[in-house]
Amino acid sequence: MKYLKALVLFLLIFVGLIYLSGQNAKQQLMMTLAEQLPQVVNPSLNNAIDESQELSRMSHSLVDDLHDITFVSKLPGDLVVSLTVAELNLSKTKLSGSNTLNWQFGNHALYASIDSSVNFNYWLVAFWAGAFTALGLLIDYLFTLIFKFQPNRQKVSIPVQIMTGKDKLSTAIEESRWFDGLKQQGFIKDLQIDGQRSTHSHCLSYSNEAHNE
């Protein structure tokens, strides 16, 4: 069960890192292109005889320029090795999709759609996912410990008068577990024998009540 929990956590973090760093890389590219495309595309159209033909020519030319884009991560090692722009389409007509940009050229808008693929450093992603999984498991363990060692925690108990046999049994089992936990940690060494006896006798009596009901 513990291994399954670790595996699920690892996969969640791995997929999360891939998704977030991929989205971030694409967003960075879109921001750069939103700033630079109008600066390089518009001047070329000023003396163009045929806008559509010129946009088509520039689409091919820009893909060659943009082919492989590299990134710098804030931590040692880059999760994204590079981003490859597979297709860039400049158009006078509105383009749909999430990876599109638009800007003004004179009195009409120009549109660009960018199709890119992200190349990840999978070993590094796996390393960080492993590190975060370990951290997650550590946090999980610490909280289990903290929860276990709350000897004076306030509990709202069910009044004995309205307690059913089942309630009493579950309370007894729980108390027994608490004592066992404390015993293992050596907090109640001296009470070991008495405590063991008393909890077992409690459990037995409540179990009988539960059966009777």
Partner 1 sequence: MPRNFVFTILRLLIASLVLLPAVVFLSQQTIEPVVLKEQYSYRCKVKNTSGKKHFHIYMPTNWQVEEFAQTLCDSLLAKQSFEIVTVSWQPREMLSTEQLLSDNYALFLNRDYALRGLLPNWDDFYTAILSLPSYQISWFSHQDNMQLSANSLKNKRIGLLEDKRSESGYLAPMSELKQFGHGLDNAQLVFYPNRESLVNDFLAEKLDIIPSVGHHGQLKRWPASKTQPLQHVSSTLSWYLNDQYADLTPSLVTYLQQYQSRLFKVHTTYPYSLDKGLR
Residues in contact with partner 1 by the rule CB under 8 A = 13, 16-17, 20-21, 24-25, 28-29, 31-32, 36-37, 39-51, 54, 57-58, 61-62, 65-66, 69-75, 78-80, 105-108, 128, 132, 135-136, 139-140, 143-144, 147
Nearer to partner 1, 105 or 203 (CB): 105
Nearer to partner 1, 49 or 162 (CB): 49
Nearer to partner 1, 17 or 182 (CB): 17
Q: At 96, which amino acid appears?
A: S
Phi then psi for residue 98, to 5 deg, are -80, -30
- Angle (CA) 191-195-196 rounded to 5° is 120
Smallest distance from the beta carbon of 114 to partner 1, in angstroms?
12
Q: In the numeric block, which tokens belong to residue 155?
A: 């509990």
Q: In the numeric block, which tokens belong to residue 139?
A: 């946090």
Nearer to partner 1, 45 or 188 (CB): 45
Smallest distance from the beta carbon of 80 to partner 1, in angstroms?
6
* Residue 164 · residue 208 · CB < 8 Å: no
Phi then psi for residue 174, to 5 deg, are -65, -45
**What is the rounded CA–CA span in Å between residue 118 and residue 21?**
9
Smallest distance from the beta carbon of 125 to partner 1, in angstroms?
9
Neighbours of 84 (CB within 10 A): 15
**Overall size of the chain counted in residues:** 213
Neighbours of 169 (CB within 10 A): 21
Smallest distance from the beta carbon of 101 to partner 1, in angstroms?
13
Smallest distance from the beta carbon of 29 to partner 1, in angstroms?
6
**What is the rounded CA–CA span in Å between residue 63 and residue 88?**
6
**What is the rounded CA–CA span in Å between residue 50 and residue 71?**
36
Smallest distance from the beta carbon of 63 to partner 1, in angstroms?
11
Nearer to partner 1, 111 or 132 (CB): 132
